[in-house]
Amino acid sequence: MKSLHSQYGHWLLFVRSICVLLLISTSPARSETGNYEFNDAHFHLTNNIQEGPRIRDFLNMMGSKAGRVALFGIPLQQQWSYRVDGNRAPTYYLHSDAPLYYYSFTDAWIAMAYKSLTKEQQARFDPMITGFHPADMYAADHIRRVLQTFPGVFTGIGEFTIHKEFVSAKIPGEVRSLEDPALDRILDFAAEVGLVVLVHCDFDVPFANEGAEPAYLQQIKALFKRHPNATILWAHMGLGRVVPPGDHHAERIEEILRDPDFRHVYVDISWDEVARYIVASPEATKTMADLIARYPDRFLFGTDAAAPADQSKYLRVFQQYEPLWKSLDAETSRKVRLENYERIFDEARRKVRRWETAHAPSASSN
């Protein structure tokens, strides 16, 4: 009798654990994005001096508009040099000649902001690690350390920057390079863990000579090709404030998208500067809309807002893109605004959580 009873008990336990497993695997680790207008693949909670809205206030700005947001700070801190700027405390990298420096505490700041939220609120964020120097062979170790210090938090790395107009020259020490083995080490590690990689690299120098070969395009493509197992988002399609698309940008992007060697590469169309190019004329919008329609799974919307003060500022880039949204068919538009984000970041979340479980530091190693 006793053994029958205990067998029955085991059976119940078994059924219960199966139910729990089913619940875990079917209940979305993500929030429902059905009624939101967009997911944001590129958002800075803080600015160049590590200030920004409280995450709860930002949630209110997302409101019913933004479903999920890839969340990060800005790793490059603008120094306030009293010798250079006196009492005029600079808040933006262009507002001072004083240098920028890597501020790794940004990752802890973002992790703690995320951890202050309820589970439901957390499901709307994909925090990203940014506080590393991409020319440092130890950068990958920083990323590993952040994952192990804050398990269950991060989904990707970035936005980190290789070449960017005035920023590159403002960082003391070794200039970042697309051919640096340190960068390969970062991407190898991201691929091993399953982290989404969001990288900013202008495809050309500012004020390039007309007709000249884009300065960085071949190197960027070579880098992407060397890392077929990393999921890479190329921020802003390689464009910048003073790095305009010129006449051939859509063709260049298409060359990448149609090449199976780059099937792991996606482009983010974030930033008001990029939106400005794309909605500059009906022709420019149409060129872009046609390109997106041919590769609807490869484009992601992002705002690139940094420390927005209120909802209207946060939504500005999304609204700026109105002509583009109108030029896409409903299904393509949904993919760019919502679904590509969900697919890519959901997969990354699963992989990173698995890696974290397998690499949990043992209690004694601390």
| Binding residues for Zn ion (CB under 5 A) | 159, 304
Residue the block writes with tokens 């949630």:
59
Q: Which is nearer to Zn ion, 126 or 304 (CB)?
A: 304
Amino acid type, 168: S
Report residue 95 CA to chain centroid gap: 25
CB of 236 to Zn ion, least distance (A): 8
Backbone φ and ψ for 144, nearest 5 degrees, come out as -60, -45
Q: Is the distance from CB of 47 to CB of 307 less than 8 angstroms?
A: yes
Tell me the three state secondary structure of residue 250: helix
Q: How far is the CB of 128 from Zn ion (least distance, A)?
A: 11
Judged by beta carbon, residue 136 or residue 304, the one nearer Zn ion is 304
Min. distance of Cβ 354 from Zn ion in angstroms?
28
DSSP 3-state of 256: helix
- Which CB, 72 or 189, lies closer to Zn ion? 72
Q: Are 346 and 30 in contact (CB under 8 A)?
A: yes
Tell me how crowded residue 284 is: count the other CB atoms within 10 A of its CB.
18
Determine if the peptide bond prior to 159 is cis (ω within 30°): yes
As beta bridge partners, residue 305 has 43
The type of residue at 202 is: D
Residue placing its CB nearer to Zn ion in the complex, 328 or 336: 336
Q: In the structure encoding, which two tokens stand for residue 108, read together?
A: 């802890």
Task: Please tell me whether residue 267 adopts helix, strand or coil conformation.
Answer: strand
**Of 126 and 328, which has the nearer Cβ to Zn ion?**
126
265-268 and 299-300: which strand pairing? parallel
Sequence-distant (6+) residues with CB within 8 A of 261 are 225, 228
What is the closest distance, in whole angstroms, from the C-beta atom of residue 54 to Zn ion in the complex?
20
* Cβ at position 307, least distance to Zn ion in Å: 11
Cβ atoms 69, 314 nearer than 8 A: no
Residue with smaller CB distance to Zn ion, 268 or 351: 268
Give 46 or 231: the residue with its C-beta nearer to Zn ion. Answer: 46
Rounded-to-integer distance, Cα 274 and Cα 258, Å: 22
Neighbouring C-beta atoms of residue 33, cutoff 10 Å: 20
Query: In the complex, what is the shortest distance from the CB of residue 28 to Zn ion, in angstroms, rounded to a whole number?
Result: 27
**Residue type for 57, please?**
D
| Residues 6+ positions from 183 with CB-CB distance below 8 Å | 134, 135, 162, 176, 177, 223
C-beta of 289 vs 307, nearer to Zn ion: 307
Q: Name the minimum Å distance from CB 120 to Zn ion.
A: 27
Q: How far is the CB of 304 from Zn ion (least distance, A)?
A: 4
The least distance separating Zn ion from the CB of residue 315, rounded to whole angstroms, comes to: 17
Beta carbon nearer to Zn ion, 204 or 304: 304
Q: Which CB, 304 or 339, lies closer to Zn ion? A: 304
CB of 159 to Zn ion, least distance (A): 5
Q: Minimal CB distance to Zn ion: which residue? A: 304
How far apart CA 42 and CA 48 sit, in angstroms, is 16
